[in-house]
Amino acid sequence: MEAPLFLLTLFLISLINPISAVDFIFNGFDDSPSPSSRLSLFGIAKIESKILTLTNQTSFSTGRALYSQIIPTKDPVTSSVLPFSTSFIFTMAPSKNTLSGHGIVFLFAPTTGINGTSSAQHLGLFNLTNNGNPNNHVFGVEFDVFANQEFNDIDANHVGIDVNSLSSVYSNTSGFWSDGDGNGNRVFKPLKLNDGRNYQVWIDYRDFVINVTIQVAGEIRPKIPLLSKSLNLSGVLEDEMFVGFTAATGRLVQSHMILAWSFSNSNFSLGDSLITTGLPSFVIPKESIVKSKWFVSVLVLICFLVVSLIGLVAFVVVRKRLERERKRALMEDWEMEYWPHRISYEEIESGTKGFDEKNVIGIGGNGKVYKGLLQGGVVEVAVKRISQESSDGMREFVAEISSLGRLKHRNLVSLRGWCKKDIGSFMLIYDYMDNGSLDRWIFERDDKKYTLSCEERIQILKGVASGILYLHEGWESKVLHRDIKASNVLLDRDMIPRLSDFGLARVHGHEQAIRTTRVVGTAGYLAPEVVKTGRASTQTDVFAYGILVLEVMCGRRPIEEGKKPLMDWVWGLMEKGEILRGLDPRMTTSQAIDEAERVLQLGLLCAHPDPRKRPSMRQVVQVFEGDKAEIFEAESSEDVESWMLKKMGSRGSSQEFWYGSSSHPTIEQIRLHSLSVSLSSWNSSILEGR
Ligand SMILES: *[C@@H]1O[C@H](CO)[C@@H](O)[C@H](O)[C@H]1NC(C)=O
Ligand SMILES: *[C@@H]1O[C@H](CO)[C@@H](O)[C@H](O)[C@H]1NC(C)=O
Ligand SMILES: *[C@@H]1O[C@H](CO)[C@@H](O)[C@H](O)[C@H]1NC(C)=O
Ligand SMILES: *[C@@H]1O[C@H](CO)[C@@H](O)[C@H](O)[C@H]1NC(C)=O
Ligand SMILES: *[C@@H]1O[C@H](CO)[C@@H](O)[C@H](O)[C@H]1NC(C)=O
Ligand SMILES: *[C@@H]1O[C@H](CO)[C@@H](O)[C@H](O)[C@H]1NC(C)=O
Ligand SMILES: *[C@@H]1O[C@H](CO)[C@@H](O)[C@H](O)[C@H]1NC(C)=O
């Protein structure tokens, strides 16, 4: 009994719903092997890469795709409209160059094909003639991105429900209602249909109510539909209809694509099976902006500016570097050679107790001289600080380093090291000289106890002479001291004289013509020709040495107020045959009286106004050493010199000594001439120098 009942039930079910159950789902569309078996394409519609492309960006085109089989839309028994639920994912890829149009319609149509349709604003749904005709039997849901006033479109981005007409019965701006908070406060969020994003649409029809919902594909379906309207489709739909999509472009173009589609008239959850992930994106990348002319020109401008800036910076850097290289080249020789002698600033700073004023032992032309202790307070040094930032200070520094640094002689103050803190802050570190400068011994110490004896003075002068000789001849290039004077002669612990202050020294090749544009030296020690021409030479050093000799032996400064210049005074004494009266009265001369006279004469000769008549430093040293044999061998073109040197041992008349043989001009002539030369220059030098 049960089996027939079961069969009857089955039969009844099949009667109730014999052909009405339609379910299909497309997650991507197959172009091969036989698309016609499932989808029918019209117009320019095509399937490419699993995407149903209704239109590409061809203008005034129409594309339509229908499920290939006609489906029942009304109950064959009751003729009531069957419910349906469809969901699909579409994309409208906008045109890169122009405005985009026009739209996609999901539709039920009684026939296949695109006869009776137009492109552009007609969306491939109707044409101008049949739009609004009740005999169309067409129902559609349009996604329209163009506002046609003739169809009362609300805006250029709307969703509408069309019944036989493009003038929608209902429409709303595209978007969705947020699900809202617990209080039911919902927010409408617009969605731009043709921004290239993929959108999922749900269209449900049941009990004369149609719901249309749209959201970005992949997002959760909004609970509240965008459109939820009562709609009686009984008179619109025929018993069997074709279902599908149509789309159109006009002058405005865009690609209309369907990526996935489900349809059912029984299962309202079928849309949940659409795959919403891993779909291609048709959002136009930002490169569209990059490619715009405006952007490109701005980019070019920025690049140009950046490149210019880099170029400028590079130029400045390179120039600075070149300058530094140049400076380094200037200093490199000695910096490299004397590298081991470089002393750290910190050591010097602590050695001089932070350059304490109490440690100042002298003030030179370019900076103070400090006494300091180095190597843990064991070694006494004198630190000459050249703080001048001028290039003169720099030049002086280099001069001292490059001359004094290389010169080693027992009668020269030796350079212990140097220090460079920053540009313009240099220090020279000398051996400390316990007994200070010679001028203090001669002029400042009235105390008999400290007065130097005649022998001591002669020893000192001898030492100075050999120091100068070393400068002039002892090294591969000729070094002029240029500033020989008592205060530049320092005395060490053993009263050995040492020449210092090579700041004014210049190194000259032996053969090189010696020229200078600047008179350097100290007034009173300047040879007449230096004052006149500014030219320094070994002879001018000899002159200064001669003055030093007279100064040391006579205990008088070269120039003292209200008195004859030292040289003229001694000269006068000599002419009167009273040269020994010139000797420093404080000085004990007991045994060295002959020697003292010879040295005074030597001093006068060295300070001769005529540079040609001055002996060379070598000859001076030879006189001191009493090595006459060598003196005669020495090449002396000047008769008067050799004559004088011959006479040095046997005291002749002072006139003869001074001016040579009587065949020369008379003493008075020469004297007058020389005086005029020397006095005029002396006077001018006094005026300039003091
Ligand atoms: C659009 O599609 C048609 C037919 O497939 C083709 O001839 C045309 O070149 C396509 N146009 C563009 C812009 O892709
Ligand atoms: C469309 O109309 C043309 C003539 O204008 C006709 O040849 C064609 O068969 C029609 N297509 C359909 C599907 O009705
Ligand atoms: C609209 O379509 C119908 C049916 O195909 C046709 O008879 C009519 O001429 C068309 N109208 C226009 C303006 O194309
Ligand atoms: C949707 O359309 C209705 C009228 O049909 C209107 O009242 C409502 O404001 C619209 N909503 C939006 C978000 O446009
Ligand atoms: C349409 O939406 C309304 C409101 O959310 C809902 O009550 C109704 O059940 C929906 N109808 C269909 C057919 O989905
Ligand atoms: C729907 O329309 C048909 C005729 O077009 C009518 O017979 C039917 O009563 C209507 N149904 C509703 C619920 O309005
Ligand atoms: C309806 O479709 C959903 C999603 O594909 C599926 O999970 C469910 O089993 C279907 N229901 C029926 C009754 O077929």
pLDDT at 254 over 60: yes
Is residue 301 exposed (0-12), middle (13-18) or buried (19+ Cβ within 10 Å)? exposed
pLDDT at 650: 36
User: In the structure, what pLDDT confidence band is assigned to residue 47 with cuts at 50, 70 and 90?
Assistant: very high
To test ligand 7's pocket by mutation, which of 27, 270, 275 has the most ligand atoms within 8 angstroms of CB? 270
Q: How far is the CA of 234 from the centre of ligand 6 (A)?
A: 6
pLDDT digits (tens, 9 = 90+) for 76-86: 888 899 999 99
**Residue 421 maps to a domain:** yes
Least confident of 33-42, 298-307, 351-360: 33-42
* In-domain check, residue 642: no
Nearest alpha-carbon partner for 162 in 109, 111, 114: 109
Residue 16 inside a domain? The answer is no
Ligand 5 site, residue 271, Cβ cutoff 6 A: no
For residue 457, is pLDDT > 60? Answer: yes
Contacts of 224 (CB under 8 A, 6+ apart): 177, 179, 186, 213
Band (pLDDT 50/70/90 cuts) for residue 640 is: very low
Answer yes or no: are the C-beta atoms of 65 and 52 closer than 8 Å.
yes
Per-residue pLDDT of 228-253, as tens digits, reads 999 999 999 999 999 999 999 999 99
Mean pLDDT of 41-62: 93
* 208 Cβ closer than 6 Å to some ligand 6 atom: yes
Closest ligand 4 atom, residue 175 Cα: 13
Of 393-397, 603-607, 615-619, minimum mean pLDDT range? 393-397
Closest ligand 4 atom to 190 CA: 13
Instruction: For residue 345, give the CATH number of its domain.
Output: 3.30.200.20
**For ligand 5, atom 4: residue with the closest CA:** 224
**Number of domains making up the chain:** 3
If we measure between CA atoms, which residue out of 248, 254, 249, 243 comes closest to residue 26?
243
Residue 164 belongs to a domain: yes
Q: Token digits for 562?
A: 């209200």
Residue where one domain finishes, among candidates 376, 396, 431: 431
Among protein residues, the one with the nearest Cα to ligand 4's atom 8 is 172
Average pLDDT of the residues in 100-116: 94
Instruction: Report the half-sphere exposure of 144 (CA within 13 A, side-chain side).
Output: 32
What pLDDT shows up at residue 671? 42
- Does the CB atom of residue 78 touch ligand 6 within 6 A? no
| Residues 388, 463 within the same domain | no
115 close to ligand 3 (CB < 6 Angstrom): yes
Residues β-bridged to residue 342: 418
**Residue 558 pLDDT:** 87
Question: In Å, how far from its chain's centre is CA 591?
Answer: 75
Q: Could you tell which of 82, 163, 232 is best to mutate to test the pocket of ligand 6, judged by most ligand atoms within 8 Å of the CB?
A: 232
Cα 483 to Cα 412: distance, rounded to the nearest angstrom: 14
Percent of the residues in the chain that have a pLDDT greater than 90, as a whole number: 38
Last residue of a domain, one of 625, 657, 684: 625
pLDDT for res 62:
96
- The answer to whether the CB of 586 falls within 8 A of the CB of 553 is no
- Does some domain include residue 177? yes
Residues 273-283: pLDDT tens digits?
Answer: 999 988 998 88
Per-residue pLDDT at 259 exceeds 50: yes
- Domain around 416: 334-431
Decide if 663 is inside a domain. no
Window from 308-312, 328-332, 590-594 with minimum mean pLDDT: 328-332
- What confidence tens digit (pLDDT) does each residue in 619-631 have? 888 878 865 434 3
Kindly report the backbone phi and psi dihedral angles of residue 106, in degrees, each rounded to the nearest multiple of 5, phi listed first. Answer: -85, 130
**Percentage, residues of the chain above pLDDT 70:** 76
What is the DSSP track for 528-591?
A: HHHHHH----HHHHHHHHHHHHHHHHHT--SS-TTS--HHHHHHHHHHTT-GGGGS-TTS--TT
Q: What is the pLDDT of residue 645?
A: 47
Asked if residue 654 belongs to a domain, the reply is no
pLDDT confidence bin for 34, thresholds 50/70/90: low
Beta bridge partners of 369: 362, 384
Mean pLDDT is lowest, of 311-315, 594-598, 642-646, for 642-646
The ligand with the least distance to the CA atom of 79 is 6
pLDDT tier at 328 (50, 70, 90 boundaries)?
low
Confidence class for position 373, pLDDT limits 50, 70, 90: confident
262 and 376 both lie in a single domain: no
Residue 689, pLDDT score: 34
Ligand 2 atom 4, closest CA: 115
- List, in order, residues 6 or more apart from 435 with CB less than 8 Å away: 441, 490, 491, 492, 493, 495
53 with 101, same domain: the answer is yes
Q: What gap in Å lies between CA 686 and CA 181, rounded to an integer?
A: 106
Q: With a cut of 80, say whether residue 612 has pLDDT above it.
A: yes
Tokens of 605: 């000769």
- What per-residue confidence (pLDDT) applies to 630? 42
Tens digit of pLDDT for each residue in 153-176?
Answer: 999 999 999 999 999 999 999 999
**CATH code (residue 494):** 1.10.510.10
Supply the pTM of this predicted model.
0.51
- Look at strands 240-248 and 71-72 and give their pairing: antiparallel
What average pLDDT does the structure give for the chain?
A: 79
* Ligand 3 pocket, residue 329 CB under 6 Å: no
Give the Å distance between the CA of 46 and the centre of ligand 1: 10
Ligand 2 centroid from CA 494, angstroms: 132
CA atoms of 583 and 596, how far apart (whole Å):
8
Mean pLDDT of 59-63: 95
Atom of ligand 6 nearest to the CA of 208: 13
Sign of the Cα pseudo-torsion (276, 278, 279, 281, in order)? positive
What SS3 string covers 575-603? Answer: HCCCHHHHCCCCCCCCCCHHHHHHHHHHH
> In the structure encoding, which two tokens stand for residue 603, read together?
């001093």
What confidence category does residue 7 fall into, taking pLDDT thresholds of 50, 70 and 90?
Answer: low
Mean pLDDT of 258-264: 95
Distance 197 CA to ligand 2 centre (A): 35
- Torsion angle in degrees (nearest 10) through CA of 559, 561, 564, 569: -60
pLDDT at 75 over 50: yes
Of the pLDDT bands very low, low, confident and very high (cuts 50, 70, 90), residue 217 is very high
Any atom of ligand 2 within 6 Å of the Cβ of 127: no
Average pLDDT over residues 447-471: 85
Q: Examine the pLDDT at 666 and tell me if it is beyond 80.
A: no
User: Which secondary-structure segment (H or E) carries 452?
Assistant: none
Is the pLDDT score of 195 beyond 80? Answer: yes
**Co-location of 575 and 553 in the same domain:** yes
Q: Both 381 and 453 in a single domain?
A: no
Cβ atoms of 482 and 505 closer than 8 Å: yes
| 234 and 151 inside one domain | yes
Give the pLDDT score at 165: 95
Determine the pLDDT at residue 204. Answer: 97
Helices (H), 200-359: 287-291, 293-337, 345-351
Query: Residues with Cβ within 6 A of ligand 1?
Result: 44, 46, 56-58
Q: How far apart are CA 153 and CA 377, in angstroms?
A: 101
In terms of domains, do 402 and 518 share one? no
Distance from Cα 267 to the centre of ligand 7, integer Å: 6
Check if 267 has its Cβ closer than 6 Å to any atom of ligand 7: yes
261: CATH:
2.60.120.200
Count of positions (residues) in the chain: 690
Is residue 604 within 8 A of residue 571, CB to CB? The reply is: yes
Task: Indicate whether residue 222 lines ligand 5 (CB < 6 A).
Answer: no
Q: What share of the chain is helix, strand, coil (3-state, %, to 5)?
A: 35, 20, 40
Structure tokens at 133: 């005709």
Instruction: State whether residue 243 is helix, strand or coil.
Output: strand
Q: Is 112 in the pocket of ligand 2 (CB under 6 A)?
A: yes
End-to-end, the C-alpha distance of the chain in Å comes to: 151
Closest CA to 659 of 672, 677, 671, 645: 671
φ and ψ at 560, to 5 degrees?
-125, 145
- Measure CA 287 to chain center: 33
Q: Looking at residues 557-565, what average pLDDT do you find?
A: 84
Exposed, middle or buried, 447 (CB in 10 Å: 0-12/13-18/19+)?
A: exposed
- Per-residue tokens: 114: 């695109």
Which among 271-275, 349-353, 528-532 has the top mean pLDDT?
Answer: 271-275
Rounded distance from Cα 205 to ligand 5 centre (Å): 9
Residue whose entry in the numeric block shows the structure tokens 């400076």 = 327
585 pLDDT band, cuts 50/70/90, is confident
Residue 286 marked ligand-binding: no
The predicted pLDDT at position 664 comes to: 36
My answer on whether 522 and 619 are in the same domain is yes
d(CA 43, CA 63): 4
The answer to whether 436 and 422 have CB atoms below 8 angstroms apart is no
Of 32-46, 299-313, 427-441, 457-471, the poorest mean pLDDT is in: 32-46
What would you report as the CA-atom Rg of the chain, rounded to the nearest whole angstrom?
Answer: 58
Any idea which ligand is nearest the CA of 45?
Answer: 1
Q: Partners of 227 in the beta sheet? A: 212
Nearest to 547 by CA among 598, 585, 600: 600
b/e per residue 553-578 (b: at least 16 CB within 10 A)? bbbbbbbeeeeebbbebbbebbeeee
Q: What angle do CA 95, 101, 105 make, to 5 degrees?
A: 125
Strand-pair partners of 27: 260
**Nearest ligand, measured from the Cα of 255:** 1
In a domain, 63, yes or no: yes
Residue that finishes a domain, picked among 625, 651, 675:
625
Chain-centroid distance, C-alpha 611 = 58
**Residues 471 and 422 reside in one and the same domain:** no
Residues 362 and 444 in one domain: no
**CA 156–ligand 5 middle distance (angstroms):** 27
Res. 672 pLDDT band, cuts 50 70 90: very low
The pair of three-digit structure tokens given for residue 273, joined into one six-digit string: 């099976």
Contact 381, 430 (CB under 8 A): yes
The whole-number pLDDT of residue 636 equals 37
- Using a 6 Å cutoff on CB, does residue 134 contact ligand 6? no
Least confident of 59-73, 297-311, 360-374: 360-374
**Same structural domain for residues 245 and 340?**
no
Residue of 25, 269, 276 best suited for mutating to test ligand 7, as the one with most atoms within 8 Å of CB: 269
Q: Is the peptide bond before 102 cis (omega within 30 degrees of 0)?
A: yes
From atom 7 of ligand 3, which residue's Cα is the shortest distance away? Answer: 116
Encoding tokens for residue 672? 């007058």
Q: Mean pLDDT, to the nearest integer, of 426-437?
A: 84
Active site residues: 483
- Tens digits of per-residue pLDDT, 395-417? 666 666 666 667 788 898 887 78
User: Which tokens hold the place of 511?
Assistant: 């053969």
Say how far apart CA 397 and CA 389 lie, in whole Å: 11
Does 387 sit in the ligand 2 pocket, CB within 6 Å?
A: no
Q: Are residues 426 and 445 in the same domain?
A: no
- Residue 271 per-residue DSSP state: G
Ligand 3 within 6 A of 116 CB? yes
CA of 187 to the centre of ligand 4 (A): 13
Residue 161 near residue 141 (C-beta atoms within 8 A)? yes
